[in-house]
Amino acid sequence: MRILANYGHKNNGDTYSVTFETVGDVPKEQADATVDELFRMAKAAIERQVNPLPKSQEVSAQVKEEIVVHQADGADSPLPPVGNKPQIKEPNAPATKKQKRFIARLAKERGQFIEGLNDLTMQQASQTIDELMAVPV
Protein backbone atom coordinates (compact mmCIF):
# COMPACT_ATOMS: atom_id res chain seq x y z
CA MET A 1 0.00 0.00 0.00
CA ARG A 2 1.24 3.50 -0.81
CA ILE A 3 0.04 6.39 1.34
CA LEU A 4 0.78 10.05 0.55
CA ALA A 5 0.11 12.99 2.85
CA ASN A 6 0.33 16.46 1.29
CA TYR A 7 0.10 19.47 3.57
CA GLY A 8 0.26 23.14 2.66
CA HIS A 9 0.16 26.41 4.57
CA LYS A 10 0.09 30.08 3.54
CA ASN A 11 1.59 32.65 5.89
CA ASN A 12 1.90 36.36 5.04
CA GLY A 13 2.19 35.66 1.32
CA ASP A 14 4.65 32.79 1.78
CA THR A 15 3.53 29.31 0.81
CA TYR A 16 4.88 26.22 2.52
CA SER A 17 4.15 22.67 1.43
CA VAL A 18 5.44 19.22 2.26
CA THR A 19 4.67 15.69 1.15
CA PHE A 20 5.27 12.59 3.23
CA GLU A 21 5.00 9.13 1.74
CA THR A 22 4.98 5.65 3.17
CA VAL A 23 5.19 2.55 1.06
CA GLY A 24 4.96 -0.95 2.41
CA ASP A 25 2.87 -3.36 4.34
CA VAL A 26 0.34 -1.22 6.18
CA PRO A 27 -2.65 -3.31 7.27
CA LYS A 28 -5.97 -1.76 6.27
CA GLU A 29 -7.04 -1.47 9.91
CA GLN A 30 -3.96 0.69 10.61
CA ALA A 31 -4.19 2.86 7.49
CA ASP A 32 -6.08 5.65 9.28
CA ALA A 33 -3.48 5.82 12.06
CA THR A 34 -0.67 5.86 9.47
CA VAL A 35 -2.33 8.70 7.54
CA ASP A 36 -2.86 10.65 10.78
CA GLU A 37 0.81 10.21 11.72
CA LEU A 38 2.00 11.34 8.26
CA PHE A 39 -0.16 14.47 8.45
CA ARG A 40 1.02 15.16 12.02
CA MET A 41 4.65 14.98 10.83
CA ALA A 42 3.89 17.16 7.79
CA LYS A 43 2.13 19.79 9.90
CA ALA A 44 4.99 19.78 12.43
CA ALA A 45 7.56 20.19 9.63
CA ILE A 46 5.78 23.26 8.27
CA GLU A 47 5.27 24.65 11.77
CA ARG A 48 9.06 24.47 12.29
CA GLN A 49 9.54 26.47 9.07
CA VAL A 50 6.88 29.08 9.87
CA ASN A 51 7.89 29.47 13.54
CA PRO A 52 11.55 28.47 13.85
CA LEU A 53 13.09 28.14 17.30
CA PRO A 54 15.19 31.04 18.58
CA LYS A 55 18.92 30.37 18.08
CA SER A 56 19.53 29.43 21.74
CA GLN A 57 16.69 26.87 21.74
CA GLU A 58 17.70 25.61 18.28
CA VAL A 59 21.22 24.74 19.44
CA SER A 60 19.83 23.04 22.56
CA ALA A 61 17.35 21.03 20.47
CA GLN A 62 20.11 19.95 18.06
CA VAL A 63 22.31 18.73 20.91
CA LYS A 64 19.38 16.82 22.42
CA GLU A 65 18.60 15.18 19.08
CA GLU A 66 22.22 14.11 18.60
CA ILE A 67 22.20 12.48 22.03
CA VAL A 68 18.93 10.70 21.35
CA VAL A 69 20.03 9.45 17.93
CA HIS A 70 23.22 7.99 19.38
CA GLN A 71 21.15 6.03 21.91
CA ALA A 72 19.92 3.72 19.15
CA ASP A 73 22.03 0.93 20.68
CA GLY A 74 19.07 -0.30 22.71
CA ALA A 75 18.76 2.37 25.37
CA ASP A 76 15.34 3.89 25.89
CA SER A 77 14.82 7.24 24.24
CA PRO A 78 14.12 10.18 26.55
CA LEU A 79 11.54 11.43 24.03
CA PRO A 80 7.95 10.26 24.56
CA PRO A 81 6.28 8.13 21.88
CA VAL A 82 4.79 10.23 19.09
CA GLY A 83 1.22 9.88 17.87
CA ASN A 84 -0.78 6.73 17.41
CA LYS A 85 1.73 4.61 15.50
CA PRO A 86 1.01 1.11 14.24
CA GLN A 87 2.43 -1.71 16.35
CA ILE A 88 5.43 -3.63 15.03
CA LYS A 89 4.64 -7.34 14.83
CA GLU A 90 8.17 -8.49 15.70
CA PRO A 91 9.90 -5.54 17.38
CA ASN A 92 13.01 -7.58 18.28
CA ALA A 93 13.53 -8.90 14.74
CA PRO A 94 16.50 -7.40 12.86
CA ALA A 95 15.80 -4.10 11.10
CA THR A 96 14.82 -4.49 7.45
CA LYS A 97 17.09 -3.41 4.60
CA LYS A 98 14.52 -0.73 3.75
CA GLN A 99 14.68 0.67 7.30
CA LYS A 100 18.49 0.69 7.27
CA ARG A 101 18.65 2.43 3.88
CA PHE A 102 16.12 5.02 5.03
CA ILE A 103 18.03 5.64 8.27
CA ALA A 104 21.30 6.03 6.35
CA ARG A 105 19.69 8.53 3.97
CA LEU A 106 18.06 10.55 6.78
CA ALA A 107 21.28 10.57 8.81
CA LYS A 108 23.31 11.75 5.81
CA GLU A 109 20.80 14.53 5.03
CA ARG A 110 20.94 15.70 8.65
CA GLY A 111 24.70 15.37 9.16
CA GLN A 112 24.28 12.57 11.70
CA PHE A 113 26.12 9.28 12.16
CA ILE A 114 24.33 6.19 13.43
CA GLU A 115 26.53 3.68 15.22
CA GLY A 116 25.58 0.00 15.00
CA LEU A 117 23.14 0.50 12.13
CA ASN A 118 23.39 -3.15 11.08
CA ASP A 119 22.64 -4.32 14.65
CA LEU A 120 19.35 -2.43 15.10
CA THR A 121 16.09 -4.25 15.76
CA MET A 122 12.92 -3.26 13.91
CA GLN A 123 11.73 -1.33 16.99
CA GLN A 124 15.03 0.50 17.40
CA ALA A 125 15.11 1.31 13.68
CA SER A 126 11.57 2.69 13.83
CA GLN A 127 12.48 4.82 16.84
CA THR A 128 15.67 6.04 15.14
CA ILE A 129 13.69 7.02 12.03
CA ASP A 130 11.25 9.02 14.18
CA GLU A 131 14.13 10.77 15.94
CA LEU A 132 15.90 11.59 12.68
CA MET A 133 12.66 12.90 11.13
CA ALA A 134 12.42 15.36 14.04
CA VAL A 135 15.87 16.82 13.26
CA PRO A 136 15.62 19.84 10.94
CA VAL A 137 17.38 19.49 7.59
* pLDDT < 70: residue spans in the chain: 53-86
Indicate the pTM of the whole model: 0.41
pLDDT at 31: 82
pLDDT in tens, 82-107: 455 667 788 889 999 999 999 989 98
Question: Given this model, what pLDDT does residue 80 score?
Answer: 43
Q: Which of 56, 105, 5 is nearest to 125 (CA)?
A: 105
Closest residue by Cα to residue 44 from 84, 85, 9, 80? 9
pLDDT score for 53: 67
Question: Domain map of the chain by residue range?
Answer: 1-52, 55-137
Q: What is residue 63's predicted lDDT score, i.e. its pLDDT?
A: 46
What pLDDT score does 86 carry?
Answer: 66
Q: In the prediction, which pLDDT does 110 show?
A: 86
Among the residues of the chain, which ranges form H helices?
Answer: 31-50, 55-69, 97-109, 122-134
Residue-level pLDDT at 56: 54
Cα(116)–Cα(95) distance, integer angstroms? 11
